[in-house]
Chains A and B, each alone.
Chain A
């Protein structure tokens, strides 16, 4: 029988593209692009971006610190597998937010993933995602192309979802079906579906690519066009490492390499559009500060967010570092999240969609206590 944890492990990487400018509706559309990389399972932020200047790190963790992190500044380093991301940091096109999390301390994947997508404090309280609502407010509409439109981009506005299923002996979606969908819409929407149909017919095989690197390439190619999607959501699963997580090498470091390649591929395939883009990671929670008995880490609270894109002007690590002494830990075991990650998401929406912070926290996150991090991330 498949259990929940196993289900999480076998969920495939996926890509959803959304926010295609609809003819006659988004003529004044913003140029910004947002790409979310959902790191499912809970990324270990202390392994990815170790606070090498905090002596308590080495007291709390005996094995799970990479042997040769790249020093970013006196307090923080980064895992050596993040080579592309480090280069982006060096050229002021990336930033890091540490000791951060969505407002969730329950340590359940299902609740945590739901909160990271709906952006509200109570899990399963709405059926729309924070990015979808942001697109609604910014009046960025259009269709999603995905096997399963993630909750993150579902908004209140009309929304359709289409992805050609891989059924044996069908290499391309059937023309009749595509035309049926197209003809069920009027005017502007019909034109948009015609455009989508054409792209599906031309590149349907590529769309079936399921590895994150190919999906990143596909996302960049689609988004770099003027009439391409404004939003993409990529998922990289399998971060739920309870045992043999690895330090310099191993499973988590391999995932860092993969994530790093995705950043590199996005920059490459977005080309000129990179300057108008922001890529950010989300994860449902961090992992425990101390390693467990099987050289893994368990579900925790605070983690790290990685951001890259041409919209960033000055690289930095943004953190209200809580420390790693026993006293400083959340419930004596987890990194305290001192920054609500929704404030980071809000800053990305502000930078890419040009919305006012007050409007974002009111309409998108429905929490007026979310502070503004725009200055710290985008300068």
Chain B
């Protein structure tokens, strides 16, 4: 890493270091040179994360225009008011409790389905796809080229009373008459979430499984394990970090998702937290509450992120 590509240093100098060595050899890297490589990332974080986050804070602790009922962000923390925060917390532990539980339930089930299906697919591609590996990977990634919204709209067509899903089900006589998938059912929302996010599960798991040393599996066999116990005692424990990464990647956006529910259900009986936030944003005078709900959701999501970071740090330390 320390050797810059294409450096003009003479070949007899084995290593280039900052400071005097470099200076005497005619190549000078100022102190800020390598640090400056982080500048785009820092600028990105500042502009697209910290600034928006501070705006959300300023709205959550801010006021509302008395005439237009639009949010007035308060930038100076010493003028912040906690009224909206109190109300948001009050609702979180009261009125909205069911919605939080429902959201957690949906995300849990949807992530689990993503994991089971995604793992199986990734396992197959990594171990058994052979020459078709690249083709399969392209096919698996291709849904990501289409916008999430378009994919959900496609599902509306597929799930309609006379859509293909119902046609196949009735043709195979699995159901006697078309199922009203779009009539406000939790199962439809869960399946929509699974469909929308499963590629994000397959890719990290595949990347990891693909790198598992085949010798490890073979030695497992040599030591008398059958295929199942090789999988359970070698492959599965080894892929734990990938499973965690996949779960984090799919479940975090699911928690904030709102238009899967809006498009595929629309029934209040399947409302998720994201829908409550979306509703508040577009209600006069309610935007500070929306900001509070966003902050509460962020705090809740820090728990799984923290667990993931700790667990990966441990795995790294164990090596």
Q: Does A associate with B in a complex? A: no
B residues at A contact (CB < 8 Å) = none
